[in-house]
């Protein structure tokens, strides 16, 4: 097969995939909104009855608290982490872009335990 035909087929498949994803996202957001409405109704039942949940013939429900933490001041957060010696409050992952930039500027500085996975890939773009 020639490259032109492969690119043509690839673009057609990518378009079909994007359409499927958009349709799926629309249906999913509608369903999620309906579920959130029901969750609010169940929270109102908990509030009205003073209970933390309940059982029905179809299943049970329970009220829980979900808490998220974040900061708008990373300089102070880093100071807090150092001051209290709590590095475990951060997630363990490397910022890919920043680390790539660091390694390009410092190719002789490889931290112990660093794993690297590189592979070739193809990018397909439409003709203009």
pLDDT tens digits, one per residue of 15-57: 999 999 999 999 999 999 999 999 999 999 999 999 999 999 9
Do the domain assignments include residue 48?
A: yes
Domain annotation covers residue 92? yes
* pLDDT score of 73: 97
Number of domains in the chain: 1
Task: For residues 1-5, give the mean pLDDT.
Answer: 93
Domain membership of residue 14 (yes or no) is yes
- The answer to whether residue 119 is domain-embedded is no
Cross-strand bridge partners of residue 53? 62
pLDDT of res. 67 = 95
For residue 125, is it within any domain? no
Alpha-carbon torsion (87, 91, 93, 97), positive or negative? negative
Identify the three-state secondary structure at position 25.
helix
Which residues, 6 or more positions from 11, have their beta carbon under 8 angstroms from its beta carbon?
A: 124, 126
Could you tell me if residue 122 is inside a domain? no
Q: Decide: 115 and 2 in contact? Cβ < 8 Å.
A: no
Q: Where are the beta strands (DSSP E) in 20-116?
A: 53-55, 60-62
Candidates 109, 108, 127, 103; CA nearest to 118 is: 103
Q: Looking at the domain assignment, is residue 120 inside a domain?
A: no
pLDDT, position 9: 97
Determine the 3-state secondary structure of 38 from DSSP. Answer: helix
pLDDT category of residue 1 using cuts at 50, 70 and 90: confident
116 in any annotated domain: no
Q: Per residue in 94-128, pLDDT tens? A: 999 999 999 999 999 999 999 999 999 989 999 99
- The stretch 66-86 carries a mean pLDDT of 96
Q: From CA 20, how far away is CA 24, in angstroms rounded? A: 6
Say if residues 90 and 84 touch (Cβ distance below 8 Å).
Answer: no
Domain range enclosing 39: 3-57+65-105
Q: What is the pLDDT of residue 39?
A: 96
């Amino acid at each position: 097969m020639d490259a032109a035909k492969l690119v043509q087929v690839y673009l057609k498949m990518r378009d079909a995939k994007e359409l499927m994803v958009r349709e799926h996202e629309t249906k999913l957001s509608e369903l999620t909104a309906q579920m959130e409405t029901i969750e609010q109704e169940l929270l109102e039942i908990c509030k009205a009855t003073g209970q933390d949940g309940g059982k029905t013939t179809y299943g049970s429900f329970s009220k829980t608290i979900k808490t998220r933490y974040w900061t708008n001041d990373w300089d102070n957060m880093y100071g807090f982490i150092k001051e209290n010696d709590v590095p475990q409050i951060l997630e363990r992952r490397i910022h890919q872009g920043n680390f790539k930039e660091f390694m390009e500027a410092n190719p002789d500085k490889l931290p112990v335990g660093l794993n690297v996975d590189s592979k070739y890939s193809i990018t397909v773009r439409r003709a203009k």
